[in-house]
Amino acid sequence: MIFLDKLNQNITDKQSLFFVGLDPNPEMIPERYQGSDLLASLENWLQFVIAETADFVCAYKPTLGFYQALGVRGIELLIKIMASIPGEVPIILDAKHGDLNTTSMFAHSIFVDWEVDAVTLNPYAGQDHIAPFLVYPDKAVFILCCTSNPSAAILQQYPTTSPFYLQVVQESKTWGTPEQLCLEVGTTNPEILKSIRAVAPERIIMVRSVWSQENSIQPILAAGLDNHGDGLLIPVPQDMLSSTNLSQEIRSLRTELNQIRSDLINSTSSCDVWFPDVNIKDKHPHQDLILQLFDIGCIMFGEFIQASGAIFPYYIDLRKIISNPQVFSQVIGAYEKILAGLTFDRLAGIPYGSLPTATGLSLRLGYPMIFPRKEVKAHGTRKAIEGNFLPGETIAVVDDILISGKSVMEGAEKIKSVGLRVNDIVVFIDHEKGVKDKLKENGYCGHSVLTISEIVNTLHEAGRINQQQLLAFQQE
């Protein structure tokens, strides 16, 4: 399971945005746990914290530096503590790793040997430092972009017109996808958090230091939550971890925070209305849709590390459209125009990305829908195809993006294996590179709403991307 899915599952199951810092700080250990063996005392305390909080938090965050300061036994303690964390709860290792020469080795150690789910990193060395961590597609990194210590302001907030910490946020967005790259922000100032959220509306933000002053948590939530009331991780107050009634106190704090969160969600619109802000004479028929997809973060430009290690100058994520009804309706309408010219009996969506789209098309067009299972279960009916159908019927296959054609053709072959016919495959975006020719060689006719070239050229003409980004795509 990828980090973001694991995190979101815990947020949903426990109705909590809280994470706990598991730090063996001798200065914080409660008196009742103090003994002659410091390491044993720290372990007993941290085990108590895990037991008391496991039902109320979405993640744990051990700080590597505290364990390293305790020597070899400290590292052994870290491994014991991480092994005690329930397997379904993600572990974010607070490492602030910043050494370029050891990144590959360190990434392998923490992600493979220690099996942590995410790590905090120092961005000062740039993408070269971050890239070795992003080749693990089920893991994530948190980029430190702002801290609350006063002496850091002279660097992080320089120059005042466009502070450096915002440049870190803007640049780091091009290093990895929202599923893999998150942000860490230490601040007591809601305005700083608000400015970061404005630049990175789609990123998970782990906040720090929010309890260091007697400020209400409401302004922090108002500034940091995304448009759907999510996207923010809040630390459990450090001094609370010494309480004998820890589970009771964190339950109460969770209730308070969720009420504030609910009030904020209810006070804002659930669906923003988008208006075009450009005027191009010979505009593309889908210009407004392309611009909207870019503006809501479905299309991003930068240098994105793929699981294979290859670097793409762009990244497409169409899963976000289901949270924006205005855009989703336009996407369905664009598919509909193509499907209106085809002959078929049923629709099929390819799991998992295109299933919402196929469902929407089924409802709008009045055609029944089926879908091939990604994997056939070893129990129950063991069906390869879900839904009702009659052998000999013709199926129009719907997918979201055509990159290599492998997954959609595998899905089509499963459909054909039960006596159905597949002639047409309809996708929203064609990455080109001759993939439609490959479909034709295998007996399929490929159709697409847009090509990646049309998207890039439209974005460039509208001023959404610059000449350098256009050239990077053309040279890809």
Alpha-carbon distance 436 to 18, whole Å?
47
Distance of CA 414 to the CA centre of its chain: 30
| Cα 402–Cα 407–Cα 412 angle in degrees, nearest 5 | 100
Alpha-carbon distance 14 to 8, whole Å?
10
With residues binned 3-state (H G I as helix, E B as strand, rest as coil), the percentages for the chain, rounded to 5, are 45, 20, 35
Buried residues in 356-389 as b, exposed as e (16+ CB within 10 A)? bbbbbbbeebebebbbbeeeeeeeeeeeebeeeb
Tell whether 399 is in a known binding site: yes
Catalytic positions, please? 96
Tell whether 377 is in a known binding site: yes
Tell whether 405 is in a known binding site: yes
Q: Hey, what long-range contacts does 415-419 have (CB within 8 A, 24 or more apart)?
A: 415/348, 415/370, 415/372, 415/385, 417/384, 418/384, 418/385, 418/389, 418/391, 419/391, 419/392
Tell whether 406 is in a known binding site: yes
Alpha-carbon distance 375 to 395, whole Å?
20
Q: Hey, what long-range contacts does 452-459 have (CB within 8 A, 24 or more apart)?
A: 452/314, 452/316, 454/284, 454/286, 454/290, 455/290, 455/293, 455/299, 455/429, 456/314, 457/284, 458/283, 458/284, 458/286, 458/287, 458/290, 458/291, 459/290, 459/291, 459/294, 459/299
Alpha-carbon distance 231 to 241, whole Å?
24
Tell me which amino acid residue 314 is: Y
> Residues with Cβ < 8 Å from 269, sequence gap 6 or more?
none
Tell whether 379 is in a known binding site: yes
Tell whether 429 is in a known binding site: no
Tell whether 433 is in a known binding site: no
Residue 144's nearest CA partner among 90, 83, 187 is: 187
DSSP state of 91: B
Tell whether 400 is in a known binding site: yes
* 3 state SS of 19: strand
> Binding site, residues?
373-374, 377, 379, 399-407
> Binding site for 5-phospho-alpha-D-ribose 1-diphosphate, residues?
373-374, 377, 379, 399-407
